[in-house]
A and B are shown apart, each in its own frame.
Chain A
Amino acid sequence: MVSFRCEVHQNPYLPEDGTQVDAVVTVTVTADVDGAGPAATARPAHGEAAGTAAGDPAGAGTGRAAGGGPDAVEVILLDCSGSMSGGRKMAEAQRAAAVAVDTLRDGVGFAVICGTSGASMIYPDEGLAIVSDRTRQEAKARIGTLAAGGGTAIGAWLRAARALMLLAPDAIHHALLLTDGQNNEPPDTLAEALAACEGVFQCDARGVGADWKVDELRLIATALLGSVALLRQPADIAADFQAVIQTVMDRGVRDVRLRIWAPRGARIRFVRQVSPQIDELTGRAVAVSDLVQDYPTGAWGSETRDYHVCVDVPPAPVGGRRLAARISLLDGEQTLSTTKVEVIWTDDSVESTRINEVVAHYTGQAELARAIQDGIRARQAGDEDSAVTALGRAAQLAAAAGDELTLRRLEKVVEIVDAQTGQVRPRHSVEKLDEMDLDASSTLTVTPKTP
């Protein structure tokens, strides 16, 4: 059994004629199985903290869905293109896939796919295998025989994963994708594959080495409600795979939607997940009625996520009160938790100009991600001035948030003279891996400092 809890952070006071309402909703899921609390589950894998506590599965230990099929399906998509034969990449990818298979829970449906110019089954020969000691051994033996050769067609790999997912329609669906290069399909092919896969499964995307494109994997991870990360060394893959699979295995609630009601005449300006990473949800709204929108959030384990919701409401006279939003988490049609965003109009400017600290913090984190991405894009285009301006702003925001990891990544790309004022100088020799790491990690956020 898992329980969902919503908490809202906002300044409920609006000035006369004020219409913009900002609120951050913190959703916390706790599992009550075997005393496995939130601490038993790691947050989605950061590049750094790879070793996760192998906690008890959060309410997901049965191995069987209601319909009799597996309750979860994991498809591992391994890049086996020719470039993977360089260095230790193929050997480490094989080792990582074996670790991933070992981390899967008994009873889960799984498959390992070899991705080249198409997609072929490594294990099983077709369809899905069910995890057991025997199938783990068979899969690992098969993984050990892999050889690299061929192209990179990520869209075809994702479609193959999708076909496998559809064999167990009632399960939690996840894929883990590893690549070391750029997609060489025609531009629309990947976009079409993503459109077909959206809502069918979630996917975490990993790039190893410096020859893949951050934007490409970010596109995949964003569409499929997953994360993207850079693995500097082939030797880093295994620990990351283990962390990712452990997180997925701990997810017990399959498919959760954020439902937002806003009053007539209101407009939802944006809905954005802001922790543990930034995901824009605004464009994913599905209208339930004129006043109600649903946003997909994927599967949940024991974890905490924050959502920033910004709504424009029709103004009311001073003293007026209004419900600006009703925000719920739904599993199917079952409401897991609900919270309300209420506002009151006041002529007390002290009240109305006070900014809620949590809202301010996450507004800054979203701007930080944008500043980093803008700065890197400007740098790559040779626009040094814009790069320095954007990355300086990024340093300032990171310092204000106490975001040490981001400051450290920034420091490798620009020389930070004074973070408080955003003064930075360009560096003339920057390792490509460092720039990619900064880019790929830009959407990870930190939680607000507790006062």
Chain B
Amino acid sequence: MSAVCPEGHLSATEDWCDLCGSPIAPGPSPRAQPSRAAGPPPADGQRGPAGAVDEAGPSDGAGPADGADLPPTTRSAAPLTTPPPSAPACPVCTEPRSGSRYCEACAYDFDTGTVPGAPVPVARPSPASHAGPASRSGPPPHSPPRPHLPATADPVAAVRSADGQTVIAGAGAGAGAGVGWVAEIGPDRAFFDRNDDDVDFPDLVTRRQVALAGDRTLIGRRSPRRNVLPEIDLTLPPEDRGVSRVHAFLDHSDDGRLAVTDAGSANGTWIGSDPRPIPPGRTVPLADGDHIYVGSFTRITVRRTC
């Protein structure tokens, strides 16, 4: 789904050019108008970025049925909108296709070959032919987020990546909030580059923080069906599918020490700059500021808080 504006830009949006703002099709009058409604949301609830599809909220379906998400012109130009049987998986994240237009895992759009968060158009009309380049197609380089604000889909849980501040919990007579360590979780470009995994580096480099409560913290990927409920859950965006369901444990006892143990993960656990993964089952002590690397791109930095 793309169009060419009068100035020759390839635009992912078909009403106005997503680069220069020129009108593409004879549009509505420029009078102020309320938001237009679009069709039902994709099955996985993921939406395109603001610059890609003009949409209203899911329950705001009373507007004109303009069919904004299925324009007939581009669909006829690319009749093979369903992938051939030989390629049923998402070329970006390899999740098997559920039958909906969008990938359940990463919201990749099978019709257009675009991924969310990609305001520039993707020139390839047929996404399913080859797994490699399509996954590298989308977004332009991001400007780095301002240091005082998280650029993240989950700012409530996020912290500044440079946050070395201590957390003061109950500094008075009463007991504190019981926090001795926090883990800061986010993608790491250098680690990603070191790996050869066939996945995308996340569009938005977000970092979040988990306070280590109790005496053990599981690093893994949540699976309620298997009763795996990791405190450090890498199914949260940006999801890292290179992390095993039960990947590694962090042990933090009352004496303030912290250690990591790889629980026999498929892809291993690395610490700092050591080129070898730690042996599964062996407990390795950690120091304030240490980096743990897991999966395809995830770095977990541990920090002491008191």
Q: Chain B: interface secondary structure? A: loop
- Contact: B172 with A337, CB < 8 Å? no
Contact with B along A316-354 (1 / 0, CB 8 A): 000001111011101011111111101110000000000
Residues in A with CB closer than 8 Å to B33 are 8, 339-340
* Docked CA distance A151–B280 (Å): 51
Contact with A along B181-192 (1 / 0, CB 8 A): 010000000000
Least Cβ distance of A81 to chain B in Å? 12
- Contact: B209 with A12, CB < 8 Å? no
- Which of B20, B60, B139, B148 is A289 in contact with, Cβ under 8 Å? B139
- Contact: A120 with B156, CB < 8 Å? no
Residues in B with CB closer than 8 Å to A262 are 21
Query: Which of under 10, 10 to 19, 20 to 34, or 35 or more describes the interface residues of A?
Result: 35 or more
B146 at the binding interface (Cβ < 8 Å): yes
Kindly name the residue among A118, A125, A196 whose own CB sees the greatest number of chain B CB atoms within 10 A.
A196
- Contact: B56 with A338, CB < 8 Å? yes
Using A3-B59, A166-B182 as known contacts, say yes or no to A125 and B175 having CB atoms under 8 A apart.
yes
- Which of A3, A4, A9, A198 is B32 in contact with, Cβ under 8 Å? A9
- Contact: A127 with B213, CB < 8 Å? yes
Q: Could you say which of A167-175, A176-184, A214-222, A422-430 contacts chain B?
A: A167-175
- Please provide the chain B residues from 105 to 153 with a CB less than 8 Å away from any CB of chain A in the complex: 107, 116-117, 119-120, 139-140, 142-146, 148-151, 153
Using A120-B171, A156-B168 as known contacts, say yes or no to A292 and B116 having CB atoms under 8 A apart.
no
- Contact: B172 with A196, CB < 8 Å? no
B10 at the binding interface (Cβ < 8 Å): no
Least Cβ distance of B189 to chain A in Å? 17
Least Cβ distance of A4 to chain B in Å? 5
- Which of A23, A201, A261 is B51 in contact with, Cβ under 8 Å? A261
A250 at the binding interface (Cβ < 8 Å): no
B54 at the binding interface (Cβ < 8 Å): yes
- Please provide the chain A residues from 10 to 65 with a CB less than 8 Å away from any CB of chain B in the complex: 10, 12-13, 23, 32
Residues in B with CB closer than 8 Å to A2 are 57, 59
Least Cβ distance of A17 to chain B in Å? 17
- Please provide the chain A residues from 97 to 142 with a CB less than 8 Å away from any CB of chain B in the complex: 111, 113-114, 116-122, 125-127
Using A67-B233, A163-B168, A286-B146 as known contacts, say yes or no to A292 and B119 having CB atoms under 8 A apart.
yes
Kindly name the residue among A9, A67, A162 whose own CB sees the greatest number of chain B CB atoms within 10 A.
A162
Using A6-B35, A160-B177, A291-B119 as known contacts, say yes or no to A340 and B54 having CB atoms under 8 A apart.
yes
- Contact: B57 with A4, CB < 8 Å? yes
Using A163-B211, A255-B155 as known contacts, say yes or no to A290 and B171 having CB atoms under 8 A apart.
no
- Contact: B154 with A12, CB < 8 Å? no
* Docked CA distance A48–B215 (Å): 48
A144 at the binding interface (Cβ < 8 Å): no
- Contact: B56 with A5, CB < 8 Å? yes
- Contact: A199 with B16, CB < 8 Å? no
Least Cβ distance of A59 to chain B in Å? 11
Using A119-B171, A169-B208, A286-B145 as known contacts, say yes or no to A328 and B50 having CB atoms under 8 A apart.
yes
Residues in A with CB closer than 8 Å to B267 are none
Least Cβ distance of A49 to chain B in Å? 29
Residues in A with CB closer than 8 Å to B57 are 2-5, 336-337
- Contact: B48 with A200, CB < 8 Å? no
Q: How many residues of B contact A (CB 8 A)?
A: 84
Contact with A along B57-76 (1 / 0, CB 8 A): 11110000000000000000
Least Cβ distance of A170 to chain B in Å? 7
* Docked CA distance A340–B305 (Å): 45
Contact with B along A245-285 (1 / 0, CB 8 A): 00000000011010111111110000000000000000011
Residues in B with CB closer than 8 Å to A127 are 177-178, 213
- Contact: A296 with B35, CB < 8 Å? no
Contact with A along B1-27 (1 / 0, CB 8 A): 000000000000001111111110001
B165 at the binding interface (Cβ < 8 Å): yes
Residue of A nearest to B147 (CB): A195
Residues in A with CB closer than 8 Å to B255 are none
A381 at the binding interface (Cβ < 8 Å): no
A-B contact number at CB 8 A: 272
Using A5-B57, A159-B167, A333-B116 as known contacts, say yes or no to A326 and B50 having CB atoms under 8 A apart.
yes
A439 at the binding interface (Cβ < 8 Å): no
Contact with A along B22-59 (1 / 0, CB 8 A): 11000100111111000001000111111101111111
A294 at the binding interface (Cβ < 8 Å): yes
B196 at the binding interface (Cβ < 8 Å): no
- Contact: B49 with A292, CB < 8 Å? yes
- Contact: A169 with B50, CB < 8 Å? no
* Docked CA distance A120–B172 (Å): 4
Least Cβ distance of A287 to chain B in Å? 4
Residues in A with CB closer than 8 Å to B169 are 119, 159-160, 163-164
- Contact: A195 with B157, CB < 8 Å? no
- Contact: A334 with B45, CB < 8 Å? yes
- Contact: B54 with A337, CB < 8 Å? no
* Docked CA distance A328–B143 (Å): 20
Least Cβ distance of A261 to chain B in Å? 4
Residues in A with CB closer than 8 Å to B305 are 163
Using A12-B32, A334-B46 as known contacts, say yes or no to A198 and B177 having CB atoms under 8 A apart.
no
* Docked CA distance A313–B20 (Å): 10
Contact with B along A348-391 (1 / 0, CB 8 A): 00000000100000000000000000000000000000000000
- Contact: A3 with B30, CB < 8 Å? no
Residues in B with CB closer than 8 Å to A287 are 142-145, 151
- Contact: B165 with A114, CB < 8 Å? no
Using A288-B49, A339-B35 as known contacts, say yes or no to A163 and B54 having CB atoms under 8 A apart.
no
Least Cβ distance of B188 to chain A in Å? 20
Least Cβ distance of A415 to chain B in Å? 41
* Docked CA distance A147–B50 (Å): 52
- Contact: A199 with B158, CB < 8 Å? yes
Besides A159-B166, A286-B146, 19 more A-B contacts (Cβ < 8 Å) are A2-B57, A3-B59, A5-B57, A5-B60, A12-B32, A67-B233, A113-B170, A126-B174, A159-B169, A163-B305, A198-B148, A199-B158, A286-B150, A291-B19, A292-B49, A296-B155, A313-B21, A332-B153, A356-B32
5 contacts between A and B (CB under 8 A): A163-B176, A255-B156, A263-B20, A287-B144, A335-B47
Residues on B close to A: CB < 8 A?
A: 15-23, 27, 30-35, 41, 45-51, 53-60, 107, 116-117, 119-120, 139-140, 142-146, 148-151, 153-160, 163, 165-179, 182, 204, 208-211, 213, 222, 229, 233, 237, 305
Closest 6 CB pairs of A and B: A120-B172, A118-B171, A263-B21, A328-B50, A323-B16, A287-B143
